[in-house]
Amino acid sequence: MKNKVIIITGGSSGIGRACALAFGRAGGKVVISARNTQKLQEVGQELAAAGVEYLAVTGDVSKEVDCIRLIEETVVRFGKIDVMLNNAGISMRALFQDVDLEVIRQLMDINFWGTVYCTKYALPYLLKTKGSVIGVSSIAGYQGLPGRTGYSASKFAMQGFLGALRTETLHQGLHVMIACPGFTASNIRNTALAADGRQQGESPRDERKMMTSEEVAAMILEGTRRRRREMVMTSQGKLTVFLSKWLPGLTDKLVYNHMKKEPDSPFK
């Protein structure tokens, strides 16, 4: 990653923060973007302390103008883009019959349209460098998860978009990777939306049993270096993807029973 320019959305916490430090320590020049200016500055201080050259750009990926500005400021500062890491995301936890449709719109705006906007305006520069577009997705992009209809929809859409882009640019040297962590101890779980759009607060899962953000970041970095196509990061995730293709009915039952075991699950 030496002298590569890496843009990371959702860079103020969790996987985004960990990726910023991992890519920076590997020699990259890192651009971090997020809505929370204070947290972004704190990550910037960590990067500076690690000797990483960085740029922090406050912005909301659901707003096209903010994504345009992110790309423009990156190019003004560093002159190129080598990696567009679409990490910004938000989750939800509610039954579809109960959820306010505005919650699903919000998830699509951030998870799907945020990826589309950033990739669209970064693409001319990525084609010049034969760089990488990375989407941080989820098993929810392969298998619909009950209680997370909007999240699954946004990740299916992201993966379809990136898969089509990969095929379109097949002979132009662009690397496209879909990275699917398992359940991760990151801020996305605490900021997941409930049925009425309010933040869920504390995660219903035991964070001690999850992947750490640092583990996810190390795998994304290695996948970028190797120009991997897809990365499903846990054995449970790989099994789910495999079964969903060959035994979809069984997979639905297994996933339902698994999600039913969550504390305060809406499934009885």
- Angle at 79 (CA atoms; ends 75, 81), nearest 5 degrees: 70
Say how far apart CA 93 and CA 109 lie, in whole Å: 17
Per the annotation, the verdict on 151 as an active-site residue is yes
Q: Which two tokens stand for residue 90?
A: 């938000």
> pLDDT, tens digit, for every residue of 246-255?
999 999 999 9
CATH topology of domain 5-237: Rossmann fold (3.40.50)
Please check the confidence at residue 93 and state whether its pLDDT lies above 80: yes
With left for phi above 0 and alpha for psi between -120 and 50, is residue 197 left, alpha or beta?
A: left
Please check the confidence at residue 205 and state whether its pLDDT lies above 70: no
* Mean pLDDT score across all residues of the chain: 92
Q: What is the pLDDT of residue 35?
A: 96
Please check the confidence at residue 187 and state whether its pLDDT lies above 60: no
End-to-end Cα distance, the chain:
49
Least confident of 70-74, 223-227, 248-252: 248-252
- Percent above pLDDT 90 for the chain: 83
Task: Give the active site residue among 54, 117, 142, 151.
Answer: 151
Element (H, E) at 211: strand 211-212
Ranges of each domain in the chain: 5-237
- Percent above pLDDT 70 for the chain: 93
Q: What is the pLDDT of residue 4?
A: 98
Of 213, 246, 220, the residue nearest 14 (C-alpha): 213
DSSP, collapsed to helix, strand or coil, labels residue 30 as strand
Phi, psi angles (nearest 5°) of residue 37: -60, -40
